[in-house]
Structure 1
């Protein structure tokens, strides 16, 4: 089989490897589609992932495929099943796992980060990490389960109340998923702030009530007029740059919650407007990975309640992984998928 190994800083190597054999408690998956995540981009440039990366390793943690072999003791999965992979594996023993905060696990492993993942033709994974997809759902959609699961954890953290005004800052794949989830959570109005016209257009198709360009004159006044003159109740920042964080604070009304969803550079900092936090009584939250939300993501995708097709814009092969990463970094793409 073909596997694309990450060898370290901005280097991949395509190798021919034997197809793995199932071990007790595992399944072998014929990988079909794997999304290029912002975390993959960070790792490619030598930055941190969700867990320590030790090359050589096959990256790719947003993927789906078909079960080709079932190991001894596995229940609930059979050959031919369509599955999506929940990459994050928790130790279950540290204080965070035992206190219901498994995403903070001190010993977390992750398929496609610390062990071989989706950027290869076949993978072997613990059976517990493989979740059933409806066979009628395109496997490309299944590859979006992991980012959707992360977004669900973010939505849970944001605590949107029915009738809230929600502003999403950044209209990439994550932002477009969050626009849809905010509506499902009961938001009365959903605003997207995004400079890219193509992404604003897709956001409107996916249910955003107002899309604003933060680079245009009068965008803030337009936002305030739509939001009722005071701002948003919940602001979700998912662009990962200084300007986006700054605008999140600007869009916040009194008593608002600001969720910093994006994966920033390790050294990134932002000077918090402390008086605004004090006077507006702001709540600032972070969000990390997808604890106990992957099954909910699969259910949403299986149900068709979340639109995926407009978000996937480009497809590449395993041989084209550097090009896929470059495209994911460009303004042209929303979501890039690699087909195994």
Structure 2
């Protein structure tokens, strides 16, 4: 099969690979669509994903396709089923798995991170990680179930009311998903901090009450601040913009060496609650439902579509392509 293989830091090649052997509990998925995540770019530049990455590896943890082969002991999935893949695999035996915090698993594996993923024509996955999708759902939508699942996990960490003033820092794909979920809660207002002028119209369409430049965002005091960028300046802005008693969700993925400057007195005096959010435990099925029912729109948020042969050049030049959300279609 043809696959885009990450050979090392900033080194990707499209190669013909032999088919992987199939264990009794695994299936082969013919990939139809695969999202390119910001985490894929982190990995491409030598940083870890949800777990440590050891090239050569086929990236792509946002994927959907058709089951074309099943292992001998598979009973929950059939050949021909259309599926979306939850990439995360937990050991089930560490202290975190045993205390119902599987996403913090000490031995976390993930499709497209520790084992070959969706940037190839076929992908071998555990049957337990396959979720059937409804007929009306496109493969592009099904590939974007995983990022929505991650957003749902973060969304569950904040508390909103009809009086909440919300600031979302970052109007890219993840910020756009958060915006839709927050808006459904009938909050007092939702402000989005986003410097790119070309994103403003869509953000207003998705429900933003105001779209402001980051340099002006600190003028707003918010009860809930959701940071979706992962840069030092945006995380520091999140803390500064939180009102007394405010909640700050640091969702954007930063590089491991990133540090921020925050005055502890500000956290103390404003009695802030600051939380992080990692991957998508038990949210995949709900994310499928939200997309299928058009509660959350994802397909119109796609800005770029690529073919597999384009990936080495695309990954090398990604920051200059002005991508909001990209998918690979097969």
After TM superposition, the score normalised by the length of structure 1 is 0.92
1:241 has 2:193 as partner: no
Deviations 1:280-333 (A, max 9, x none): 111111111111111111111121111112310001111111333246434621
Structure 1 contact 327–333 (Cα < 8 Å) conserved: no
1: CA distance between counterparts of 2:158 and 2:36? 25
1: CA distance between counterparts of 2:150 and 2:234? 19
Structure 1 residues 36, 183: closer, same or farther in 2, change over 3 A?
A: same
* Higher mean displacement: 317-326 or 204-213: 317-326
Structure 1 residues 286, 50: closer, same or farther in 2, change over 3 A?
A: same
Shift of 1:22: 4.2
Deviations 1:103-122 (A, max 9, x none): 11000100000001000001
Q: Which residues in structure 2 correspond to 1:1-340 (within 5 Å)?
A: 1-20=1-20, 22-215=22-215, 220-221=218-219, 224=220, 231-326=221-316, 328-330=318-320, 332-340=322-330
2: CA distance between counterparts of 1:74 and 1:184? 38
Q: 1:228: which partner in 2?
A: none
2: CA distance between counterparts of 1:331 and 1:253? 36
2: CA distance between counterparts of 1:219 and 1:38? 23
Q: 1:227: which partner in 2?
A: none
Structure 1 contact 29–65 (Cα < 8 Å) conserved: yes
Segments of 5+ residues of structure 1 without an aligned counterpart are: 225-230
2: CA distance between counterparts of 1:328 and 1:204? 26
Shift of 1:71: 2.0
* Higher mean displacement: 6-15 or 118-127: 6-15
After TM superposition, the score normalised by the length of structure 2 is 0.95
2: CA distance between counterparts of 1:244 and 1:211? 15
Structure 1 residues 155, 328: closer, same or farther in 2, change over 3 A?
A: farther
2: CA distance between counterparts of 1:312 and 1:113? 23
Segments of 5+ residues of structure 2 without an aligned counterpart are: none
Shift of 1:21: 5.6
Task: Report the count of equivalent residues.
Answer: 330
Structure 2 contact 161–187 (Cα < 8 Å) conserved: yes
2: CA distance between counterparts of 1:75 and 1:210? 50
Structure 2 contact 193–217 (Cα < 8 Å) conserved: no
